[in-house]
Amino acid sequence: MRPRAMTKLTFGAAAAATLGLLATLAPTADAHQPSGHKPELKRIGYFTQWGIYGRNFQVKDLETSGTAAKLTHINYAFGVVGSDGKCLMGNAPGSDPWADYVRPVDAATSVDGVGDTADQRLAGNFNELRELKAKNPGLKVMISLGGWSGSAHFSDAVRTDAGRKTLVASCIDTYIKGNLPVDGARGGAGAAAGIFDGVDLDWEWPGSEGNPGNGIRPEDKPNFTKLVREFRTQLDTYGRSLKKRKHYDLSAYVPTAPAKIDAGFEVPKIMRDFDFVNLQGYDFHVSGEKTTAQQSALFAKNDFSVDQTVNAWLRRGAPAHKLVVGMPFYGQGWTGVTGGGDGLGQPAAAPAPATWAAGSEDYKFLKELANSGTYKLHRGYRNGHAWLFDGTTLWTYDDPTVLRTKASYVRQNGLGGAMVWSLDGDTPDGELITAIDRGLSRR
């Protein structure tokens, strides 16, 4: 689940009629993609700042599992936009400097096998990411700004040109230039320089409902376009100022629902400035709903799906090669399911009990359920999703078979690659990322 970025959708009769048969068709990607354009297919994984605690998922695990070698980008979740309209680190909800750069990492837990010392300026996850990049040349790290519970202040921050300039400058100062608050021996000017290679905007959602309490305005839509332009301008200006010129990537996490796309995104304009966008490919239905349903199907008739999402963005003018398909490393679950059959589309009493949060479970634990002999594995239309059902509890999720199918879909339709939420849900040997990598590489 996305603890600070889970998206709950509602699907009405009008939306179903709009989608109709389109959800069963392959996207018309060729019409939107320049002839002969064959960029590297992206493999993007979110690393959660808080995963180092309960899950004990460390940056080193990306190396020992072989995951880092299969990624083009890591999105670090999340950078905080504060009530003052700036990127904050420290005294703000969701900010955790201890995890980011203060916490000493011992030799056994570090990527390079050398423990952090008391006098080094950069420790914690940021230093481990630096070491990971040293072992994996070409791997990029993006700072992802916002998230589900971190998007409250975007609307206020970007209302004016001055506000947008201030927000963008503060984010570049903190993450791209690496000017961190001083905390004992840690931090200071340039302490994290060179860690981040770009910015990922995770505003959920401009112009439409997200987490309760978020600022929402009709003018969010044009203001988001202007924010993207400001990020592109300032990132390019800073990149050109360096002795060795550098291009900084700019991306965003964007929704599946056509109503949310239309409320918040001027698609042709923003796509000129984005290097790529990561499409919501999960949470189509969530465990808080009263009826069980698929959460991440590739194809679905009269319902949200990956294919519907891709088509929605293509029809609004997005180039196919800039569309990266989101894929889940977790499942949505219900318990108290009645009605029999295979359990899908049936009434449920509550979210299913789980390891970290009711209704959401990491793939590595769902794999154990699938192998327990208690649950029966079911597969959906065109192998586009899977679910487990034991007669009472149902989990809908993506396993390696589903992910290979989705990766093939990405490759065959000229899309930009795959993104996953989140890397800590995979098995210790990287079973899911390997399936995606092989599907994108035809291996």
Q: What is the DSSP annotation of 42-109?
A: EEEEEEEGGGGSTT---HHHHHHTS-GGG-SEEEEEEEEE-TTSSEE-SSSTT--HIIIIIS---TTT
Kindly report, residue by residue over 274-301, the tens digit of the pLDDT.
999 999 999 999 999 999 999 999 999 9
Distance CA 110, CA 4 (A): 26
pLDDT, the chain, mean: 92
Distance CA 164, CA 7 (A): 25
CB atoms within 10 A of CB 243: 5
pLDDT at 29 over 90: no
pLDDT at 381 over 90: no
Could you give the 3-state DSSP secondary structure of residue 212? coil
Q: Are 117 and 127 in contact (CB under 8 A)?
A: no
pLDDT given at position 36: 36
CA neighbours closer than 13 Å in the CB half-sphere of residue 34? 4
Kindly report, residue by residue over 319-375, the tens digit of the pLDDT.
999 999 999 999 999 999 999 999 999 999 999 999 999 999 999 999 999 999 999
pLDDT at 186 over 70: yes
Q: Are 54 and 70 in contact (CB under 8 A)?
A: no
As given in the structure block, the two tokens for residue 309 are 């999402």
Kindly report, residue by residue over 332-345, the tens digit of the pLDDT.
999 999 999 999 99
Distance CA 114, CA 107 (A): 4
Compare 198 and 381 and report the one with higher pLDDT: 198
What is the value of pTM for the model shown?
0.92
Q: Are 299 and 329 in contact (CB under 8 A)?
A: no
pLDDT at 16 over 60: no
Q: Under 8 Å CB-to-CB from 428, ≥6 apart: which residues?
A: 61, 64, 65, 364
Q: Which of 144-153, 154-163, 336-345, 380-389 has the lowest mean pLDDT?
A: 380-389
As given in the structure block, the two tokens for residue 323 are 């569309």
pLDDT given at position 19: 37
- The whole-number average pLDDT for the span 401-422 is 98
Q: Under 8 Å CB-to-CB from 158, ≥6 apart: which residues?
A: 164, 167, 220, 223, 224, 226, 227
pLDDT at 28 over 90: no
- The whole-number average pLDDT for the span 84-94 is 90
Cα Dmax for the chain: 66
Quickly state the pLDDT bin for 382 (edges 50, 70, 90): confident
Catalytic (active site) residue 289: no
Could you give the 3-state DSSP secondary structure of residue 292? coil
Could you give the 3-state DSSP secondary structure of residue 400? helix
pLDDT at 166 over 90: yes
pLDDT given at position 385: 95
Inter-axis angle of helices 400-412 and 431-441, to 10 degrees? 30
Q: Are 228 and 250 in contact (CB under 8 A)?
A: yes
Fold of 24-330+399-441: TIM Barrel (3.20.20)
CA dihedral 82, 83, 85, 86 (to 10 degrees): -30
Closest CA to 148 of 220, 240, 192, 210: 210
pLDDT given at position 202: 98
pLDDT at 225 over 70: yes
pLDDT at 258 over 50: yes
Compare 436 and 29 and report the one with higher pLDDT: 436
Kindly report, residue by residue over 123-152, the tens digit of the pLDDT.
999 999 999 999 999 999 999 999 999 999
pLDDT given at position 22: 34
Quickly state the pLDDT bin for 442 (edges 50, 70, 90): confident
Distance CA 111, CA 58 (A): 9
Q: Are 323 and 309 in contact (CB under 8 A)?
A: no
What does 3-32 look like in DSSP terms, one character per residue? TTT-------HHHHHHHGGGGGS---GGGG
pLDDT at 25 over 60: no
What does 135-174 look like in DSSP terms, one character per residue? HSTT-EEEEEEE-GGG-TTHHHHTSSHHHHHHHHHHHIII
% of residues, the chain, pLDDT over 70: 91
% of residues, the chain, pLDDT over 90: 89
Selecting among 63, 128, 131, 204, the annotated active-site residue is 204
Ramachandran angles phi, psi of 291, nearest 5°: -130, 135
Quickly state the pLDDT bin for 403 (edges 50, 70, 90): very high
